[in-house]
Amino acid sequence: MEHTVKKTLLTLKTDKNLKEAAQKTAKEMGIPLGTVLNAFLRSFVSERRVEFSAPLVPNARTRTIIDAVRKDFREGKNLSPAFSSADDAIDWLHTQ
């Protein structure tokens, strides 16, 4: 038995800046704003709550630090040895 999805038009009044920001965000995520709104409505109906998130993107300064740390790790630089106790770790830190 097939289920036919009937579409309807929803007219929504919202702040122009909010609409433009939402369109830009949806575009950055690679999805149409209508898909976002339909996901919101489905979740709202079935769960009586909604949650959206986007991956965090580090700023240029943080990205530079992350890249440097990854490079050091690959090259075995700036790594501490394994310790059997907190005292051993503290002693090692004092020698650095």
**84 closest CA partner among 92, 95, 94:** 92
Give the whole-angstrom CA distance, residue 36 versus residue 41.
9
pTM: 0.48
- The predicted-structure confidence for 35-92, as pLDDT tens digits, reads as follows 999 998 998 999 998 777 888 889 999 999 999 999 999 998 888 889 999 999 999 9
CA nearest to 40, candidates 15, 22, 21, 20: 22
DSSP summary character for residue 83: -
Query: What type of residue sits at position 9?
Result: L
| Statement: residue 1 has pLDDT above 70 | no
